[in-house]
């Protein structure tokens, strides 16, 4: 350490510690905000998959309902068979979208892990400064 650092008063050291702590807390809050923003955008993307999947599944249900109506009123096999096939394909596509969104949501965590890690590191650093 240089001579100037050794000559600072206890009040100056506490003032510097207070400023540094304030800066550290402010930076940690910025990190947490940035990390949560990233996680929120991922969740929004996964929710979009779920919404698209649900819309496609709904169209599939409508086609299946149409197929049931055609079956009940059918004069021939062609109409209801084609509506049934289309309905199954659309419903399957919707199911796949919903499953993709749900599995992606389950993998993501809302916990700001990077912020927690840096807070732990900062706590260790402060402990080291005391000794």
- For residue 40, the surrounding DSSP H or E stretch is helix 10-73
Contact 72, 111 (CB under 8 A): no
CA geometry: angle 78, 56, 42, nearest 5 deg: 160
CA geometry: angle 72, 73, 75, nearest 5 deg: 120
DSSP 66-100: HHHHHHHH-SSHHHHHHHHHHHHHHHHHHHHHHHH
Position 4 scores a pLDDT of: 52
Position 51 scores a pLDDT of: 92
Digits of tens for pLDDT over the chain (131 positions)? 454 556 778 888 878 888 888 888 888 888 888 888 888 888 888 999 999 999 998 888 888 777 776 775 655 656 666 777 677 877 888 899 899 988 888 887 767 777 788 878 877 777 776 65
Position 1 scores a pLDDT of: 47
Rounded distance, CA 40 to CA 100, Å?
17
Sorted by sequence, the CB contacts under 8 Å of residue 19 that are 6+ apart come out as none
| Residue of 46, 25, 37 whose CA lies nearest to 110 | 37
């Amino acid at each position: 350490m240089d001579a100037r650092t050794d000559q600072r008063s206890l009040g100056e050291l506490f003032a510097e510690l207070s400023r540094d702590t304030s800066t550290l807390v402010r930076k940690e809050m910025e990190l947490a905000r940035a990390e949560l923003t990233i996680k929120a955008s991922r969740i929004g993307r996964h929710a979009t998959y779920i919404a698209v999947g649900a819309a496609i599944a709904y169209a599939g249900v409508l086609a299946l309902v149409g197929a049931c109506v055609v079956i009940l009123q059918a004069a021939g096999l062609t109409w209801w068979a084609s509506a049934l096939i289309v309905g199954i394909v659309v419903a399957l596509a919707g199911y796949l979208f919903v499953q993709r969104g749900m599995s992606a949501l389950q993998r993501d965590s809302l916990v700001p892990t990077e912020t927690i890690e840096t807070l732990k590191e900062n706590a260790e650093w402060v402990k080291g400064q005391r000794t």
